[in-house]
Amino acid sequence: MADDRRLTVIVVPHGDLETRTYEISYGRLRFYLLLFTTVAVAVALVLALWFPIAAQAGRVPALVRENERLHAERAQVTELARTLAEVEAQYERVRQLLGADTPSGDGQPILPPLRPRPDTATTDTGDDAAMIDGVIQEWPLEARGFITRRVSDGADHPGVDIAASRGSLIRAAGHGVVRIAGIDDVYGYYVVIDHGGGVQSLYGHADTLLVSAGASVASGQPLARVGTSGRSSAPHLHFEVRIDGKPVDPLRFVAAP
């Protein structure tokens, strides 16, 4: 049954004898109240959702500035790392020019310049084998690798090149003392071990050095990680063995696993 009741509103203007009367049914009043409540709730929801979005949007300029600052700092760090590498290379060259890597007091020689002189052709005599026997015995990599160049490939190449994955461990071929752990234009990051008795081994083109000069190392101990530093076009280890400064073929004394 329809609700025919009505609400009468009488308005008496101030200073005016004439009154105004407004009538509205209860049904229509309930409708307007429901509509007003619905609109009010919708507006409240919109405002509740808008304020967090507005707050996040207000942070965007600050985040953009922070991102730009981090990019600038990263570029500075990269430039500093490059400059440090250049300084280290120059320092190593100065040390060599000033004779900082001359023979030690025990009379053991340090490896000669990077490329052998014409009168130091590869030697491989029985006497050499006797000197190295039991001294050089470990394969210089944690993995087998792949030999890409040998000593016999040219008089200007006094060692063997063993291709290996970047980051794999380079190991000492025998026990001894680290005489050089530095960087060179040709060898890149490299390590020289003095095994005593005039026998030395060299490990070149490393990515990271794990030892420093003066350290005693055991046979098979990690020295560095394979890289492509120096005059190199792909990750590999350049491995040399020398007796009294003359290169010999390391593959006579070590074998791939």
Asked if 186 contacts 232 with a C-beta cutoff of 8 angstroms, the reply is no
pLDDT of 6 > 80? The answer is: no
Structural domain includes residue 257: no
* 241 and 145 belong to one structural domain: yes
Q: Which residues contact 53 (CB under 8 A, 6 or more apart)?
A: none
Q: What is the spatial distance between Cα 250 and Cα 23, in angstroms, rounded to a whole number? A: 113
Structural domain includes residue 109: no
* 88 and 134 belong to one structural domain: no
Overall number of domains in the chain = 2
Token reading at 71? 């990019």
pLDDT by residue (tens digit) across 40-67? Answer: 888 888 888 877 887 777 777 888 888 8
* 73 and 140 belong to one structural domain: no
Q: What is the spatial distance between Cα 223 and Cα 206, in angstroms, rounded to a whole number? A: 9
Structural domain includes residue 108: no
The parent domain of residue 75 ranges over 1-100
pLDDT by residue (tens digit) across 162-185? Answer: 999 999 999 999 999 999 999 998
Fill in the amino acid letter for 91: Y
State the pTM of this model: 0.54
Structural domain includes residue 181: yes
CATH number for the domain including 212?
2.70.70.10
pLDDT by residue (tens digit) across 76-126? Answer: 877 777 776 666 666 555 555 444 444 444 443 445 444 444 444 444 445
* 141 and 84 belong to one structural domain: no
* 175 and 139 belong to one structural domain: yes
pLDDT by residue (tens digit) across 187-246? Answer: 999 999 999 989 999 999 999 999 999 999 999 999 999 999 998 888 999 999 999 888
